[in-house]
A and B are shown apart, each in its own frame.
Chain A
Amino acid sequence: MNSRKRDIAIMVATGVAGIAAPWVAPAITTQMAFLWLMILFALTWDINGGQMGYNSFGNVLFFGLGVYACALLQRDSGLSYYVALGCGIGLGALVAAGAALILGPAVLAIRGHYFAIATLGLAIVAADIASAWEYVGAASGLATPVYPGLIEHRTRFFYYLLFVLAALTFLTVRKLYSARFGLAINAIRDDEDKAEAMGLHTTRYKVFAWCISAFFLGAAGGPVGNLVGFIDPQDLAFAGATFGVWMVLMAVLGGKGTLWGPVIGAVVFHITQEVFWTYLLGWQRVAMGLLIVIIVVFFPAGILGWAGRARARPKDPAQPAPAAKTAPRPSMEAER
Chain B
Amino acid sequence: MELTRRLFVKTTAVALASAAAAGTLAGCSSLPSTSGSKKEALPADTVSTVGVCRFCGCGCGVIVESKDGKVVSVTGDPENGSSRGLNCVKGYYLANALYGEDRLTCPLIRDDKATKGTPEGLREATWDEALDLVASKLRDTWKADKSRLAFWGSGQQPIVEGYCQAKFWKAGLLSNNIDPNARLCMASAVVGFMNVFQTDEPAGCYADIDETDTFVTWGANMAEAHPMLYSRLTARKLADENVRHYDVTTMTTRTSASADKVLTFRPGSDIAIANAIANYLIQNDKYDKEFVAAHVQFKQGTENIGNATDDGYDKSDIGQAVDNVEPIDFAAFAKRLEPYTLQYASEISGVPAEDIQELAEVFADKSRKVLSLWTMGVNQHNRGTWMNHCIYNIHLLTGRYALPGDGAFSLTGQPTACGTAREVGTFSHRLPADLVVKNPDHRRYTEAVWNLPEGYLDAIEAPGFHTVKIFRELSKGNIDFLWSAHNNWAVSMPNLTRFLGKGDLKGINDAFICVSEVYPTLSTQYADVVLPAAMWVEREGAFGNGERRTAVFEKAIDPPGEAKWDLWAMMEIAKRTLEGEQIDGQDAFERLFGQWYDAAASDFKADQRETCKSIWEEYRTFSNPSLNERAAAINESAKLKMEAKQLAPYEEYIHNHGLTWPVREVNGEWKPTLWRFCDGPQEDGFDQYGVEQYGDHDMPGGVSFYKSADKKPSVVFRPYEPPAEEPSEEYPFWFSTGRLLEHWHTGSMTRRIPELNRALPEALLDMNPEDCAALGVADGDRVRLTSRFGTCDITVSTAGRTRPPRGMVFAPFFAEETLINLVVQDTYCPLSKEPDFKKTCVSIEKI
- Mutual binders A and B: no
